[in-house]
Amino acid sequence: MTHVGISYWEAGGNQTKQRVFRALADHVTVTLLDPTTEHTDLDARGFDLYHLAKRRAASLRDLHRAALAGIPTLNPPVGVALTSDRVATLDVLSQGGISVPAYEYGRASDVSLTPPVIVKTRHETDVAAHDHDVFFEEAPAFVGARLVQQYLPETRHLKVYRLGAAIRVVELGAGRGVVHRELDPTPQLVALTDRIAALTGLSLFEVDVLDGPLPVVVDVNPVVSLAGVADAERVYLAFLLSQLRRAVPQSEAPAAVSLD
């Protein structure tokens, strides 16, 4: 039977993902791998596909390990590594013609951006990766080198999710991460995710976008939460099954199922 390894916890975490992975287990064998622990025996487990669903330093190393062992991976290691480095991501996006906030990387004494700015760690796998500091008027102060981005007034903050050809858009309301409503993807946002997919090689990702006459991309994440998406479980399961049918011989692939 087809066997999928997924870097995610056996309990807890995003409950949408947990339900999707349980539903996937109705069609194939699923093994959940603790994302905080390296698994040096991936090549001996008989996986037909490896999916990094939670990004941690250990799961990133497992992703590279799986690829080196010849196991198909849902997202390519190079794209996941790129989008785990905020500075490298912004460099690639800006060089690829995508609008991003003005940014600098360095020590506080070397940064020339003026407030308001937001200060972040460079690497998404750092312990404090999601502890951001905003300096509205005073000069930014921090220890060591950090990514400093211009803080832009948010007319509309969007989460854009891409799973293969499927795109879902959610508007965030007042308060950090509070879902306001789901929107239809505009041609402009579709073209934006097409461009990001081409630049990074990712087939599954989410994008933080500040919407306006020209969308500004703040961040790209090679995993998705699908928060606020009405058909999140259906679209995620459909995507995983489609990737499996591409990864294994036709005779061994899970049968197509109706997800309506």
Q: What angle do CA 234, 235, 236 make, to 5 degrees?
A: 95
Q: In what order do the strands lie in the sheet with 133-135?
A: 103-106, 146-150, 117-120, 133-135
DSSP letter at 210 equals: E
The per-residue pLDDT for 131 is: 75
List domains and CATH numbers for the chain: 3-75+231-252 (3.40.50.11950), 102-150 (no CATH), 154-221 (3.30.470.20)
Distance in Å from the first CA to the final CA of the chain: 25
Amino acid of residue 40:
T
Give the start-end residues of each E strand in 173-249: 179-183, 204-210, 216-221
| 30-41: burial string, b at 16+ Cβ within 10 Å, e else | bebbbbeebbee
In whole angstroms, give the CA distance from residue 5 to residue 48: 8
In whole angstroms, give the CA distance from residue 235 to residue 167: 9
Q: Measured over all CA atoms, what is the biggest interatomic distance in the chain, rounded to whole angstroms?
A: 63
User: What phi and psi, each to the nearest 5 degrees, are found at residue 36?
Assistant: -95, 5
Identify the CA nearest to 217 among candidates 225, 229, 209.
209
Identify the CA nearest to 244 among candidates 256, 236, 253, 231.
253
Q: Return the SS3 of 119.
A: strand
The per-residue pLDDT for 259 is: 47
In whole angstroms, give the CA distance from residue 166 to residue 160: 11
pLDDT per 10-residue tile (average), the chain, 260 residues: 94 95 96 97 96 96 97 97 97 97 96 94 77 89 94 86 97 75 96 98 97 92 96 97 84 53
Q: How much is the pTM? A: 0.92
Structure-token match 């849902």, residue found: 74
Q: Return the SS3 of 219.
A: strand
The per-residue pLDDT for 159 is: 96
The per-residue pLDDT for 254 is: 61
Identify the CA nearest to 210 among candidates 118, 141, 120.
118
The per-residue pLDDT for 260 is: 43
- The pairs formed by 39-42 with CB atoms below 8 angstroms and a separation of 24 or more are 39/5, 39/65, 40/65, 42/5, 42/66, 42/69, 42/71
Pair type for strands 117-120 and 146-150: antiparallel
